[in-house]
Amino acid sequence: MDDLTGGEAGPGMSGLGVAAVARRLGVAPSTLRDWDRHYGVGPTGGGPGRHLRYTPADIARLETMQQMISAGTPPAEAAEAALHTPHGRGEGPRSHGAAGSRDALDDSAAEHGPSPATRIRNLEDAAMELDELAMTGILESALRHEGVIAAWEQVIAPVLVDLGSKHATTGRYIEVEHLLSAAVSRCLLAVTSPQAQFSTGRIRSPVILACAPNEQHVLPLLVLAAALAETGAARLMLGARVPPPALAAAVKRSGAHSAFVWSQTSETGDPSWLTDLAAQHPALQTVVGGPGWDRDRLPPEVPFASSVSTAVGALLAAASREH
């Protein structure tokens, strides 16, 4: 079980386990396992009867592959190039094809990744090809380099909106939307680790995240949870279809000072129950978001957040008042 501990190499160990390498690269452990299984870019250290561990050469190869994927190279081409660098398996000449040409990227591009427009194009192409590995690599790179809010607002949301428009026009591509949404959800959950929720102690009470009654679209809540995680704020994710009494009970039991409620469709956007919530918990700052709300009927004490950054700012301001 050594490869699951993620600890540094100790006596008798050679290299790092998958969890430690994943943290170092800023990707999910499942991504490293996929790269090993599908492309052969995996650990080589260890000995008979032991789980293999990543050596420095293995990690250098992964970093090469990661940089190339960030620059838009398909994962298969990036893996082939990484395996043929001097530190890779079967040491040989660098690739001189499309993947090899990516090695000419300057240091700035390798460090910061491609522009949002390039990420959008690459993500759309990978989604339309149902290439889950390529989508995951692009999403992880965007989240790592740009941060959650910028990655969502500048890359992910535009692609989802474009796919929605394609579906509305053609009646097709539902499978593309579903696969991309699933990949986005997994990558956001990797950012929102349980350990991060209470690690900094900046805000003791959690920010409660919930969908309106009968609302099932939880992806915006995952985005907000990941954005809050980057700040070190505690979150309490209640998820889809939260009845008003359940939300009120969660506020009382957790001592929360702020809550966010999402409504995607007009069928779930009746705000009348928010007045009762405010009456029960006058110290609670409730923020709402989503196109479903009847904004003309929102209580005056309930602000509407038109973006993730606006929602994060309002929720953190309310939560910090506990101090």
**pLDDT tens profile 266-293:** 999 999 999 999 999 999 999 999 999 9
DSSP 275-294: HHHHHH-TT-EEEEESTTS-
pLDDT tops 70 at residue 203: no
Beta-carbon-side half-sphere exposure of residue 51 (alpha carbons within 13 Å): 12
Annotated domain spans of the chain: 2-190, 194-320
Handedness of CA 18, 19, 21, 27 (dihedral sign): positive
The CA-atom distances, in angstroms, between 82 and each of 28, 62, 123, 224, 250 are 19, 7, 22, 35, 49
User: Which amino acid makes up residue 4?
Assistant: L
CA 282 to chain centre: 33
Residue 247 to residue 277: CA distance in whole angstroms:
9
Q: How much is the pLDDT for 254?
A: 92
Residue 108 to residue 185: CA distance in whole angstroms:
29
**8 Å CB contact between 207 and 228:** yes
DSSP H or E segment with residue 107: helix 107-112
Q: Counting beta carbons within 10 angstroms of the beta carbon of residue 230, is it exposed (0 to 12), middle (13 to 18) or buried (19 or more)?
A: middle
Q: At what angle do helices 18-25 and 29-39 cross, to 10 degrees?
A: 100
Residue 167: CB atoms within 10 A of its CB come to: 14
Residue 270 to residue 293: CA distance in whole angstroms:
6
Question: Rounded mean pLDDT of the chain?
Answer: 81
pTM of the model: 0.68
11's tokens: 């006596």
Residue 163: CB atoms within 10 A of its CB come to: 20
* Percentage with pLDDT > 90 across the chain: 48
Q: How confident is the model at residue 172 (pLDDT cuts 50, 70, 90)?
A: very high
Mean of the pLDDT values across residues 31-57? 79
Closest by CA position to 153, among listed 307, 318, 321: 307
Burial 81-93 (b: 16+ CB within 10 A, else e): bbbbbebbbeeee
* CATH, domain range 194-320: 3.40.50.280
DSSP H or E segment with residue 236: strand 235-239
User: Which amino acid makes up residue 93?
Assistant: P
The pLDDT tens digits of the residues spanning 96-154 come to 333 333 333 333 444 556 788 889 999 999 999 999 989 999 999 999 889 999 999 99
